[in-house]
Amino acid sequence: MEWKLALWHERRFTRLQAAMMACLLGLTAVTASAYEETTVSNGGTVKGTVQFIGVLPAPSSFELRRYADRVYCGALSDGSGYRQLRSVLVGDRQGLKDVIVTIEGVQKGKPFELKETKLEANICQFVPAVSVMRDGHPLTVTNLDSVAHDLQIYERDNEHVFIMFHRPALTRSGTSDLIHFTGNRHGVIMQCGFHPYMQGHGLAVDNPYYAITDMAGTFTIADLPAGSYRIHAWHPTLGEKTQDVTITAGASTPVRFAFGDK
């Protein structure tokens, strides 16, 4: 299937970046509604694992000498002059890292403490590589490097990618910008125009019931009001999976997701 990309910036994406965006297009749109903070008594907990089953995709290789700041950015390399970009990170027992798990349909619950998303540019990579964001709240990017970065932030829907903001010379002072999503766009792609191996991803959340899996693929979401919900597991390049879950007051509910070949 061909995807039409409306880029409001003259720089073209690399074929790798376009492929990564195509993988993201399966993201289910979630209609945001006003979330009410309240006291949750005897809430339930979701404890789960996300695994990758199958053959790991090969990393993308970038020859450092072809891009700016090859010596500085080469502090992270394979020792042969290449930067390896791995889109799928798997730990022990096939645990899949950097999956954002969200609970849909929670109208009220514990305090929504996400007030700001913070990123660092560190040795020509975004840290963390995968983040959650909140509509109408700031995204702050701090540059710890001694070189400048061409920061480009895009939002996407099921057909197009649009520029959110562009900071062509991100210096040590960094930048802080309010994130505003339009329509049903909830995914974010971050890249550096100077260093194409410098890529990151984000996802908008509309309630505090979310988690990002660790290297073991595990996650915990606590203080959920009792009830039935839909749980989403989203990976930047592998897509999204969903399942229904029923939360019982004071109890822990196990959940498992699997990506890859099954």
Interatomic CA distance for residues 215 and 213, integer angstroms:
7
Tell me how far apart the alpha carbons of residues 49 and 35 are, in angstroms, rounded to a whole number.
Answer: 27
Q: Rounded mean pLDDT of 172-186?
A: 89
Closest CA to 209 of 154, 153, 177, 247: 247
SS3 20: helix
Task: State the residue for tokens 């074929």.
Answer: 15
Q: Which amino acid is at 209?
A: Y
Beta strands in 35-107 (DSSP E): 36-37, 44-53, 60-63, 82-85, 100-104
User: Could you state, in order of their start, the residue ranges of all structural domains in the chain?
Assistant: 15-32+42-260
Total-model pTM: 0.86
- 15 pLDDT above the threshold of 50: no
User: Residue 14 pLDDT more than 60?
Assistant: no
Mean confidence (pLDDT) of the chain: 88
**Strand 187-192 to 149-156 pairing:** antiparallel
HSE-up (13 A, CA, CB side) for residue 48: 28
- Render pLDDT for 85-105 as a digit per residue (tens, 0 to 9): 999 999 989 999 999 999 998
pLDDT value of residue 33: 58
- pLDDT value for 18: 44
Give buried/exposed letters for 28-43 (b at 16+ CB in 10 A, else e).
Answer: eebeeeebeeeebeeb
Instruction: Name the residue type at position 203.
Output: L
- For every residue of 70-109, DSSP letters joined together read HHHHTTSS-SSSEEEE-S--B-GGGBBPS-EEEEE---EE
As a whole number, mean pLDDT of residues 168-172 equals: 89
Higher pLDDT, 150 or 184: 150
Closest C-alpha to 152, from 190, 178, 124: 190
Q: State how far the Cα of 195 lies from the Cα of 180, in Å rounded to an integer.
A: 26
For domain 15-32+42-260, is the CATH number 2.60.40.420? yes
**Nearest of 130, 141, 128 to residue 102 by alpha carbon:** 130
Q: Compute the average pLDDT of residues 122-128.
A: 98
